[in-house]
């Protein structure tokens, strides 16, 4: 189970770093990471796997229609749901959108790297979950 979380967080940080520097994420990294997340999720939390797949399909359709989300954003959100579950992942998404909007307004830029904001939000949600456990 610890391997699951290590792969999750290391992958998130690598993708956030790549997105921040180049505004793109290598497909080999995102695809391999997502397959690992879904495989572990299927073993440890099958209901979360189904929620992640349904969310991925909805987000892929949304990304196709709006052309606002990139495929890496959809993959990271899918992996996040497979690990955290739908409600914590949606709360992390809300925080990521909030920090992303603030960043875009401060930078006066219509285009931002979203994965670093999502990574920050997931780390905040993870810390809050740990604090809530105690």
Segment-wise mean pLDDT, segments of 10 residues, the chain, 134 residues: 87 94 89 90 86 84 77 87 88 94 90 91 90 75
- Phi, psi values for residue 113, rounded to 5°: -85, 115
DSSP alpha helix (H) spans, the chain: 2-22, 27-44, 46-66, 71-84, 86-107, 115-133
Q: What does the pLDDT read at residue 101?
A: 93
CA pair distance 26, 29, nearest whole angstrom: 5
CA pair distance 25, 69, nearest whole angstrom: 13
Q: What does the pLDDT read at residue 27?
A: 87
Q: Where are the domains of the chain?
A: 2-133
Q: What does the pLDDT read at residue 71?
A: 79
């Amino acid at each position: 189970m610890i391997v699951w979380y290590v792969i999750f967080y290391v992958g998130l940080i690598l993708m956030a770093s790549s997105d921040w520097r180049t505004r793109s994420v290598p497909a080999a990294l995102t695809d391999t990471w997502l397959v690992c997340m879904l495989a572990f999720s299927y073993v440890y939390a099958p209901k979360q796997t189904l929620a992640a797949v349904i969310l991925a399909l909805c987000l892929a359709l949304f990304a196709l229609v709006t052309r606002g989300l990139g495929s890496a954003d959809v993959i990271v959100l899918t992996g996040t749901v497979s690990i955290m579950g739908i409600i914590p992942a949606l709360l992390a998404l809300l925080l990521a959108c909030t920090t992303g909007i603030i960043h875009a307004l401060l930078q006066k830029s219509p285009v931002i790297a979203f994965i670093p904001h999502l990574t920050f939000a997931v780390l905040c949600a993870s810390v809050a979950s740990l604090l809530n456990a105690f």
